[in-house]
Amino acid sequence: MEKQIEHIVEWLKQKGEEANVKGMLVGVSGGIDSAVVANLIKKAFPENSLGVIMPCKSQSSDADHAHQVIEECGIDHMTVDLTDTHNTMFGAIKEQLKAAGTLNEANEKLADANLRARLRMSTLYTIATNHNYLVVGTDNAAEWYTGYFTKYGDGGVDLVPLVNLTKGEVREMAGYLNVPEAVINKQPSAGLWEGQTDENEMGTSYDMIDKHIKGEEIPEKDKEIIEAMHRKSAHKRSLAPGPEPLK
């Protein structure tokens, strides 16, 4: 694991050099993936790394954990509260949909939640442009394979250093870095609505996804859920397609 950390830190430095940027930044949620990434970019760019905390009607325990992550890691940080921005934007869109008689209440929670992720992405790119930094994503192999991220939201980033690591490996790596125990041990959550946990929403567990990615046998029911998520999210793992040129 120490070699793996060194390998990723060196890769981050190289990508920074290739892009001719001064440093890198990441959104720090209080979850384990962003805690690990914050530690990795701090190692790669000790003086030019930034963690951004972006509450958006999030639970206060998440913000507490995010501050603990920042403190233990020692990375520079700033907070941008997106609650009012989200209320204004989602409110304006909803008002127009209602007026047109086209508001689809069945999808409202998901649309509301994905807007949060996309506002965070816009915030990170605004700061990245200001600082001449790259935006670093936190997706691990399990999230990437299942497409369990918001397209152009938390999936809208420049680099994905954890993309080859299973959730279990990310947790193991956290043990070698300055990540608070409370963050290592808590349930993974996108925090997109009250009480959301990744495993409840997906209907399977990270343990199952990790095993499936590694080619180990898992129950048929879990395999079906994971493969259906993988198929449905193929479009998120490639650039937007266009038609063949007209001959």
Ligand X SMILES: Nc1ncnc2c1ncn2[C@@H]1O[C@H](COP(=O)(O)OP(=O)(O)OC[C@H]2O[C@@H]([n+]3cccc(C(=O)O)c3)[C@H](O)[C@@H]2O)[C@@H](O)[C@H]1O
Binding site for deamido-NAD(+), residues? 118, 151, 158, 235-236
Neighbour-count burial of 200, counting CB atoms closer than 10 A to its CB (0-12 exposed, 13-18 middle, 19+ buried): exposed
Residue (of 157, 158, 162) closest to 177 by Cα position: 162
Q: How far apart are CA 1 and CA 216, in angstroms?
A: 21
Region 157-216 residues binding ligand ATP, contact defined as CB under 6 A = 188-191, 198
Token duo for residue 64 = 């507490």
Give the list of residues 6+ apart from residue 63 with CB closer than 8 angstroms, or none.
30, 53, 55
Q: Does 56 bind ligand X (CB under 6 A)?
A: no
- Interface residue with ligand X, options 1, 78, 92, 110 (CB under 6 A): 110
Q: How far apart are CA 61 and CA 55, in angstroms?
A: 11
Q: Could you tell me which stretch among 11-19, 38-46, 97-105, 151-159 binds ligand X (CB under 6 A)?
A: 151-159
The 192-211 contact track toward ligand X, x by CB under 6 A, reads x-----x--x----------
Of 103 and 127, which has the nearer Cβ to ligand ATP? 127
H or E stretch covering 174: helix 167-176
Q: Least distance (Å) from ligand X to the CB of residue 99?
A: 22
Q: Least distance (Å) from ligand ATP to the CB of residue 195?
A: 13
Which residues make up the interface to ligand X (CB under 6 A)?
A: 110, 114, 117, 143, 148-151, 153-154, 190, 192, 198, 201, 235
